[in-house]
Amino acid sequence: MYRQMDGELQVFIARPGGPWFPNKEHDVWTIPKGEVEPGEQLLEAAIREFQEEVGIEPSGPFIELGSIRQKGGKTVHAWAFSGDWEDGCPIQSNTVDIEWPPGSGRWSTWPEIDRAAFFTVPAARERMKFTQQPLIDRLAELLARVTVEA
């Protein structure tokens, strides 16, 4: 999700919940994303996962941003859409059960996403996973091209 605020592009990114990154802010934030269900189209999966992870229902038109490959080998396909959300409002994320510490036999329920916010492109690049940064760059380039052509 993106918006224009005071003439500047802002992108909506999310910080994963769970026990792994309690104090980490850089190279952790991500676009809301997830797994494709059997028989599901990529855009349908992107819309569903966005809503499940942050509680906001995306609406088009959607801008295809292509795909990237993360460090772990996972391919992420992304789309952007114009939208808004009041900064500071709580998100409504789905939850995941995690054994923590690993091998301890103790399970806890954690939100999949613990925070989300709009950031300017430079601020988002400072926070988000390095491998996902090209998606934000592609969005900025596409929107700049549309502005120039208009």
- Say whether domain 2-149 belongs to CATH 3.40.50.2300: no
Q: What angle do CA 86, 91, 92 make, to 5 degrees?
A: 140
Mean pLDDT, range 107-129, rounded to an integer: 95
In Å, how far are 43, 71, 102, 116, 126 from 24, measured between CA atoms?
Answer: 30, 18, 19, 14, 12
- pLDDT tens sequence across 47-81: 999 999 999 999 999 999 999 999 989 999 999 99
For the chain, which residues make up each domain, given as ranges? 2-149
pTM: 0.91
Over residues 16-44, the pLDDT tens digits come to 998 988 888 999 999 999 999 999 999 99
Confidence of residue 122 (pLDDT cuts 50, 70, 90): very high
